[in-house]
Amino acid sequence: MNVLDAAQQRYTTKAYDPARRVPEELMQQIYGVLRNSPSSVNSQPWHFIVAATPEAKARMAKGAQGEFSYNEAKITHASHVILFCVRADADQAHLDSILEQEQRDGRFKDEAAKAGQAKGRLGYVNLHRYTQKDLPQWLEKQVYIALGSAMLGAANLGIDTTPMEGIDVAALDAEFGLHERGLTSLVMLSFGYHAETDFNAGLPKSRLAEEQVFTFL
Ligand SMILES: Cc1cc2nc3c(=O)[nH]c(=O)nc-3n(C[C@H](O)[C@H](O)[C@H](O)COP(=O)(O)O)c2cc1C
């Protein structure tokens, strides 16, 4: 699909057809999009929890109770649901694992190149940790890039999605033991195919005018 068509056709699905499943081969493409998402200094501060069975989606729905119950059916009736998690810290063990992966992937011509990459990356982490004091926000921004890529990628494959910040992150952190893994939950994305009853499917898209959102120099 033309990328503009995909961007214009995608919309936030409010009701899913519970009988329709996204083929596994298409979800594999989405997982590939997520893994290949860019991040500042290749920090990859994310972890993705995937629910594809009714039992797994019921666990995800523990994050959509009470004040967030308006999102519950968007989880339980979807085909697949991904919880986007962010690392609480860019600790040395994580930075080391990135560096070793880059080495295995053939990114360094010699030890000096590897050391330079390690130093540059740590410089950015320390800038956000100590100078700008926004390390958690900086890490979250990286995860949101992956969220955007996944939504556009899904639209391109004809898959409907629902991004959800209306989730109980504390309940989800507890449900999946995220703190023990140095993670917290951030945002959720459901995948599937909309129901006939989805009021949002027929509404026109609404965006600010081009001249309001662009300055062409
Ligand atoms: C980060 C993010 C969080 C959102 N959270 C929710 C949510 O919890 N529940 C929901 O129904 N829609 C949610 N939305 C959908 C937005 O309301 C929607 O993207 C916006 O109104 C634009 O409409 P469109 O996505 O249909 O183009 C969220 C969107 C984004 C990008």
Q: Is residue 40 part of a domain?
A: yes
Is the model's pLDDT at 1 over the cut of 90? no
- Cβ-contact 170, 63 below 8 angstroms: no
Q: How far is the CA of 73 from the centre of ligand 1 (A)?
A: 15
- Cβ-contact 90, 45 below 8 angstroms: yes
Question: How many independent structural domains does the chain possess?
Answer: 1
Q: How far is the CA of 13 from the centre of ligand 1 (A)?
A: 9
Beta partners for 50? 82
The string of pLDDT tens digits covering residues 69-108 is: 999 999 999 999 999 999 999 999 999 999 999 999 999 9
3-state secondary structure of 119: helix
Res 162: pLDDT: 99
- CA–CA separation, 146 and 35 (whole Å): 8
Active site residue 140: no
* pTM (two decimals): 0.98
Q: Is residue 59 part of a domain?
A: yes
Phi, psi for residue 158 in degrees, rounded to 5:
75, 20
Looking at residue 171, which CATH number applies to its domain? Answer: 3.40.109.10
- CA–CA separation, 134 and 95 (whole Å): 18
Q: Is residue 57 part of a domain?
A: yes
| CA atoms within 13 Å, Cβ hemisphere of 130 | 6
- Residue of 14, 55, 67, 210 marked catalytic: 14
H or E segment to which residue 136 belongs: helix 135-156
Is the model's pLDDT at 61 over the cut of 90? yes
Res 142: pLDDT: 98
Site residues for ligand 1, CB cut-off 6 Å = 11-12, 14, 71, 162-166, 187, 205
Q: How far is the CA of 191 from the centre of ligand 1 (A)?
A: 14
Range of 74's domain?
Answer: 3-88+137-199
- Closest ligand 1 atom, CA of 200? 26
Average pLDDT over residues 39-67: 98
Q: Is residue 212 part of a domain?
A: no
Q: Is residue 47 part of a domain?
A: yes
Q: Is residue 114 part of a domain?
A: no
Q: Angle at the Cα of 132 (from 131 to 136), degrees rounded to 5?
A: 120
Active site residue 14: yes
- CA–CA separation, 28 and 208 (whole Å): 34
Active site residue 62: no
Q: Is residue 214 part of a domain?
A: no
Q: Is residue 180 part of a domain?
A: yes
